[in-house]
Amino acid sequence: MTLALKSKILNLKSGFTLVELLVVISIIGILAALSLVSFTGAQRQARDSQRKSDLKQYQAALESFANRSNGFYPSYTTTIAASGSLCTSLGTSISGCPEDPRNGDDASFVYNYQSDGTGAGSTTGAKYVLWAKIENTADYWVVCSAGENGRAAQAGFSVSGGNCPL
C-alpha cells in the first residue's frame, strides 16, 4: 500500500457517522427534557413554600396589629387582596407587603383576606381568614385567626364572615 492510500483510509475512519451524531443529539435532547420537567416541579414546590411563609408573615402582622388595637383586626367583610387595603391598614407592621410569586403572570394567584366586623377597614374584626391558591395541588392554603392552618380543597371552598373553612 502506498503512503497516499494509507492516509486516505485513516482520514475516512477518523470522523463520526451521521447516525452516531443523531444518536448523541437525541440522547442529549431526552436528558434535557427530563431535567426541565423535574426543574418545573421544584419551582412549583418552592413557590408554594414561599406562599405559606408569606401568609405566616401576614398572620404575624395581624396579631401585632390586634395587640395594639384591643384584640381587634382590620375588618373587611368581603374578600380583598392582602397586598392592597389590608397592607395599608397594617401600616408598618409588615415590610414590603408580599405578593404571590405568580401574581404578575396569573391574576388568580393572589393572597386573600376576609374578616368579620363592620367592614370598610374599621378595627372591629374579631376573626379573620387568609388564603392563597397553591400550585402542586388544586387546593388553597388557609391560615385562620384561631391558629389553624392547612390545605382546603378548591371544590366547594367558601369563606364567609371570617369563619375558618378548615
Predicted confidence (pLDDT) per residue in 97-109, tens digit: 898 988 878 888 9
What is the reported pTM? 0.76
- Specify whether the CB–CB gap between 142 and 152 falls below 8 A: yes
Delineate the domains of the chain, giving CATH numbers in brackets: 18-153 (3.30.700)
Cα separation, 93 vs 91, in Å, equals 6
Q: Which residues pair with 139 in a beta bridge?
A: 153
Cell output for 14: 477518523
Res 2 pLDDT > 80: no
Considering only CA atoms, which of 84, 86, 82, 66 is closest in space to residue 127?
A: 66
Res. 3 pLDDT band, cuts 50 70 90: low
Please give the pLDDT value at position 26. 94
Res 125 pLDDT > 80: yes
